[in-house]
């Protein structure tokens, strides 16, 4: 099995979010794919099987579990397949296409958050809004500097029954509509560098607040990355670039 490592949501190596991608003739056992993902120890390892009709089946694994939706590993897989691809996944069909300036545009389901009371153990100060989407919890803080400087208690965040916790605020520089960071201790990812699927929630949240259809989000992790978003009813178009940085072959 050959795996290629792709940095997603960036145009420069060693930034953005790295994903390992294996294009295989058939899916190995679940246990083997999980073991490979644990060995790679990246936020996601993706496995792709090409169908006879030219479409592809796609599955994603963190170091500890299989997940229902992943943006950056889908971008990485589409990048390796030439930019345009139709994937069949646990979240339905995901269509990717090459667009301008080396960007890949991905058609994902929107995940609007519903406001609810934050748990008492959240451990974050200055919370302006708290809610839940299908996969993730969303926390709005006072400003972007609070998001950038945040040092959360991951043990407290792990008590939330969600795939991950998105912490966000309005953008603080030209061309950036929102800033976010994403913490996923429940799926073995302390902090995800750039989370495409989180922007399915952020696009709705900030798009409604700012009365915008098209937005740009910055994920303010140590590696950093940007995600273009376009709201289309129950869907969100996510756009990003990607760079292949390495290749390895498993012999067992």
Can 2-107+239-249 and 114-237 be said to share one CATH topology? Answer: yes
Closest CA to 10 of 228, 189, 197, 202: 228
**Region at 137 (left for phi over 0; alpha for psi -120 to 50; beta for the rest):** beta
The predicted pLDDT at position 101 comes to 84
Rounded Cα distance between 195 and 44, Å, is 10
**Quick one: how far is CA 247 from the chain centroid?**
22
pLDDT digits (tens, 9 = 90+) for 110-152: 999 999 999 999 989 899 999 999 999 999 999 999 999 999 9
The predicted pLDDT at position 123 comes to 87
Rounded Cα distance between 247 and 249, Å, is 7
Please say whether the beta carbons of 225 and 215 come within 8 A. no
Rounded Cα distance between 67 and 90, Å, is 8
pTM passes above 0.85: yes
Q: Hey, which residues are catalytic here?
A: 44
* CATH top class, domain 114-237: alpha beta
Rounded Cα distance between 64 and 41, Å, is 9
| Mean pLDDT rounded to a whole number for the chain | 96
Rounded Cα distance between 241 and 232, Å, is 21
Domain boundaries, the chain: 2-107+239-249, 114-237
pLDDT digits (tens, 9 = 90+) for 83-110: 999 999 999 999 999 998 889 999 999 9
Domain 2-107+239-249 fold: Diaminopimelate Epimerase; Chain A, domain 1 (3.10.310)
pLDDT digits (tens, 9 = 90+) for 4-55: 999 999 999 999 999 999 999 999 999 999 999 999 999 999 999 999 999 9
* Dihedral (CA of 8, 73, 81, 218) sign: negative
């Amino acid at each position: 099995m050959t795996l290629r490592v792709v940095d997603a949501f960036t145009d420069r190596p060693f930034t953005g979010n790295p994903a390992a991608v294996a294009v295989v003739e058939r899916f190995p056992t679940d246990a083997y794919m999980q073991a490979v993902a644990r060995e790679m120890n990246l936020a996601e390892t993706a496995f792709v099987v090409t169908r006879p009709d030219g479409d592809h089946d796609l599955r994603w694994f963190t170091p500890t579990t299989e997940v229902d939706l992943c943006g950056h590993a889908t971008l990485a897989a589409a990048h390796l397949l030439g930019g345009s691809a139709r994937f069949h996944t646990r979240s339905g069909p995901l269509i990717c296409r090459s667009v301008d300036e080396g960007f890949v545009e991905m058609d994902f389901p929107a995940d609007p958050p519903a406001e609810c009371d934050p748990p008492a153990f959240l451990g974050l100060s200055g919370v302006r809004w708290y809610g839940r989407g299908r996969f993730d919890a969303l926390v709005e803080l006072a400003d972007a500097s609070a998001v950038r400087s945040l040092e959360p208690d991951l043990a407290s965040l792990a008590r939330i029954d969600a795939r991950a916790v998105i912490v966000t605020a309005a953008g603080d520089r030209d061309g950036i509509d929102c800033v976010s960071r994403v913490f996923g201790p429940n799926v073995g990812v302390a902090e995800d560098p750039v989370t495409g699927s989180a922007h399915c929630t952020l696009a709705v949240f900030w798009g409604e607040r700012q009365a915008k259809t098209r937005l740009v989000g910055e994920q303010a992790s140590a590696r950093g990355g940007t995600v273009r978003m376009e709201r289309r009813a129950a869907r969100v178009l996510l756009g990003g670039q990607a760079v292949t940085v390495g290749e390895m072959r498993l012999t067992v």
